[in-house]
Amino acid sequence: MGPTVSFAPPRLEVELVARPDSIPVVSSLVQTFLTECVGLGPNDVAVSHVRIAVVEAVTNVVRHAYPGEPGPIALALEFRNDTIAACIRDAGEEFDPTNAADLPDPTELAEGGYGLGIMQSVMEELEHEYRAGFGNEFTMKKRISR
């Protein structure tokens, strides 16, 4: 079954399965939402920043949240008061961002471990909450100027 998508400008909600083939779908949906619904230019730095942050968060869910079978990912994007908010939810294993806050040593050329640092560098706010029985919820915000 494919993703369930709902556009209600200025909001997008989508539910996907945490599989690698969902990552390019998310990237495309973020780009489309920000350019078509919010009205940003395709080369606007805010589009790139939000897309990179959301793709990093979704990639982390795909790689780490569900160690057995893939589970659900819910993505919500909203534009209000010149702020883009992205919320990524999963029902997978608890993620503790305090254990992932340090970037790997760049001389080690680690394959992973950069995602949270990237998200923090391109977004203005980043919050994480884990609730037993519900899972992880990442909320990221970026203010844009027009």
Q: Would you kindly state where each structural domain of the chain is located, as residue ranges?
A: 4-143
Q: What is the pLDDT, as a whole number, of residue 117?
A: 81
How much is the pLDDT for 65? 92
Q: What is the pLDDT of residues 3-27, one digit of tens each?
A: 766 655 599 999 999 999 999 999 9
Mean pLDDT of 75-85: 95
pLDDT for position 62: 94
User: pLDDT-based confidence at 106, cuts 50/70/90?
Assistant: low
| pLDDT band at residue 100 under the 50/70/90 scheme | low
- pLDDT confidence bin for 145, thresholds 50/70/90: confident
State the SS3 of the chain: CCCEEEEECCEEEEEEECCCCHHHHHHHHHHHHHHHHCCCCCCCHHHHHHHHHHHHHHHHHHHHHCCCCCCEEEEEEEEECCEEEEEEEECCCCCCHHHCCCCCCHHHCCCCCCHHHHHHHHCCEEEEEEECCCEEEEEEEEECCC
108-119: per-residue pLDDT in tens? 555 555 678 888
Q: Which amino acid is at 134?
A: F
pLDDT number for residue 94: 87
Q: Which fold has domain 4-143?
A: Heat Shock Protein 90 (3.30.565)
* pTM listed for this prediction: 0.84
**Percentage of residues in the chain having pLDDT higher than 90:** 64
- pLDDT of the residue at 132: 87
Separation between Cα atoms, residue 84 and residue 22, nearest integer Å: 21
